[in-house]
């Protein structure tokens, strides 16, 4: 398309075409962005604290001191456990209540799905779980008017009652699926690569498209069924979802709690994965944004339009020493990205909720489901209710790299 008789421009144009065709976002970006979109995106606008100038050294020092002071002042207010239920409170000297750490040494009994139990801590030091929200940017709004997740800097205090946690917690490990594993999973659903050009993780059947995604840093290997033709229909979204999953052999083999909510593409039924905790309520899986995770089924106009969930994985488990609630609360206050430059635009947030949860973390040839404390608290900015989320590993710091 360049001017005639100018081979040099022709050559340049050819190189440009190859450059555009060969320029791709980094690996994992597509799935990360899609995950954000799925959490519902209104976050096109930027937030004031995103564009703040780099810290001057003195400002940074002052901010660190402020954080430390806030942490020290906040600690006496920290509470843990459930006083109403008579959980023992200790460590009055520090002003921090200690939750019941019952069932000490019983973590070996926490065996979801009769998993084989390896020796305690047998996986070695583990990667550290963390939220993958873009530091300094907002999360994405939900369509239901729920608070907008926020991952930027904030001044934090903790008033949450931490859940009772055993002395040890189970860690679950899985090997990354091979291409043969993915082919086998697709074949089980009646899908194949026949007639599919290009991306080796796309499969098709007569009734749907199947995308298989290998694990990334914060997402376990997942499948997505879309472009669905036919299937169950009905007015009860969960019943339709249940029927579709059963018909295709996709009903979760792991414990799950189902709930549903309206979204832009229809009603989403989420089967949140549950991990048993010895002597306590199960802990739900959360994703890299701190939102409930598991298997999602989107139902629109009475029919299933998309299914997304973790690939079946072979799990083994091992018990690791847990982190004390006092330490977890301290770590929440100082969790990155901290208080930014300490300017007036940085919100002050009281983290008044804390739950024990599990997060998927990829690490080379293996991935893990790791226990975490998920702290949260809301604040208002420009008339919008936002939710600050902080994740702190629930295992003792020595167990992580």
Partner 1 sequence: MGFVYVGLRLRPVPAEKPAFEDLYRGYIDRIYAYVRSQLGNAADAEDVTAQVFMKAYQAYGRYEPRHQTPSAWLFKIARNAALDQHRQAGRQERLRQAAAREPASEVAPDILAEERLIYRELMEAVSRLPDRQREAIGLRQSGLSFLEVGGLMSCSEDAAKMLYHRGLRSLRGLLPPEASQSPEAPA
Chain residues in the site for partner 1 (CB under 8 A):
1-3, 8-9, 12-13, 15-30, 33-34, 36-37, 40-44, 46, 140, 211, 224, 226-227, 264-265, 305-306
Cβ nearer to partner 1, comparing 182 with 283 = 182
Comparing CB distances to partner 1, the nearer of 131 and 315 is 131
Looking at the Cβ atoms of 34 and 55, the one nearer to partner 1 is 34
Nearer to partner 1, 181 or 211 (CB): 211
**Closer of 11 and 61 to partner 1 (Cβ):** 11
Least separation in angstroms between CB 323 and partner 1: 30
CB nearer partner 1, residue 52 or residue 109? 52
Q: If we measure between CA atoms, which residue out of 221, 256, 254 comes closest to residue 367?
A: 221
Give the shortest CB-169-to-partner 1 separation in angstroms.
Answer: 31
Q: Which is nearer to partner 1, 23 or 235 (CB)?
A: 23
**What is the smallest separation between the CB atom of 205 and partner 1, expressed in angstroms?**
16
| CA nearest neighbour of 150 among 361, 400, 369, 349 | 349
- Closest approach, Cβ 202 to partner 1, in A, equals 9
Whole-number minimum distance, CB 86 to partner 1, in Å? 48
Q: How far is the CB of 91 from partner 1 (least distance, A)?
A: 43
CB of 303: closest distance to partner 1 in angstroms? Answer: 13
Judging by DSSP bridges, how do beta strands 79-80 and 161-162 pair with one another? parallel
Smallest separation, CB 9 to partner 1 (Å): 5
Between 13 and 117, CB nearer to partner 1:
13
């Amino acid at each position: 398309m360049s001017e005639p008789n100018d081979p040099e421009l022709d050559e340049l144009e050819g190189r440009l075409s190859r450059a555009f065709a060969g320029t791709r976002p980094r690996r994992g970006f597509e799935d990360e962005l899609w995950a954000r979109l799925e959490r519902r995106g209104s976050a096109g606008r930027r937030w004031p604290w995103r564009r703040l100038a780099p810290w001057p050294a003195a400002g940074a020092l002052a901010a660190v001191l402020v954080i430390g002071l806030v942490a020290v002042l906040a600690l006496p207010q920290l509470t843990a456990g459930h006083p109403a239920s008579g959980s023992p409170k200790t460590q009055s000297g520090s002003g921090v209540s200690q939750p019941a750490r019952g069932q000490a040494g019983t973590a070996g009994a926490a065996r979801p799905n009769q998993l084989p139990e390896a020796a305690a801590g047998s996986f070695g030091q583990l990667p550290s779980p963390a939220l993958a929200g873009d530091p300094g940017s907002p999360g994405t709004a939900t369509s239901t008017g729920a608070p907008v997740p926020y991952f930027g800097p904030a001044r934090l205090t903790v008033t949450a009652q931490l859940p009772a946690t055993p002395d040890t917690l189970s860690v679950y490990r899985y090997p990354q699926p091979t291409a043969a594993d993915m082919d086998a999973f697709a074949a089980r659903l009646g899908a194949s690569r026949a007639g599919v050009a290009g991306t080796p993780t796309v499969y098709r059947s007569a009734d749907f498209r199947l995308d298989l995604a290998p694990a990334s840093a914060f997402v376990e290997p997942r499948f997505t069924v879309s472009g669905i033709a036919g299937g169950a229909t009905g007015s009860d979204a969960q019943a339709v979802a249940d029927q579709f999953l059963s018909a295709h052999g996709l009903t979760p083999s792991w414990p799950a709690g189902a709930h549903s909510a309206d979204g832009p593409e229809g009603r989403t039924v989420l089967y949140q994965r549950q991990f048993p905790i010895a002597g306590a309520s199960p802990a739900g899986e959360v994703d890299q944004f701190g939102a409930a995770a598991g298997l999602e089924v989107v139902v629109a106009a009475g029919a299933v339009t998309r299914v997304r969930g973790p690939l079946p994985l072979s799990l083994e488990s091992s018990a690791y020493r847990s982190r004390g609630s006092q330490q977890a609360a301290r770590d929440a206050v100082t969790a990155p990205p901290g208080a930014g430059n300490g300017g007036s635009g940085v919100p002050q947030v009281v983290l008044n909720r804390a739950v024990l949860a599990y997060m998927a973390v990829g690490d080379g040839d293996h991935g893990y489901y790791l226990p975490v404390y998920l702290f949260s608290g809301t604040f208002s900015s420009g008339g919008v209710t936002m939710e600050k989320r902080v994740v702190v590993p629930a295992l003792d710091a020595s167990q992580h790299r």
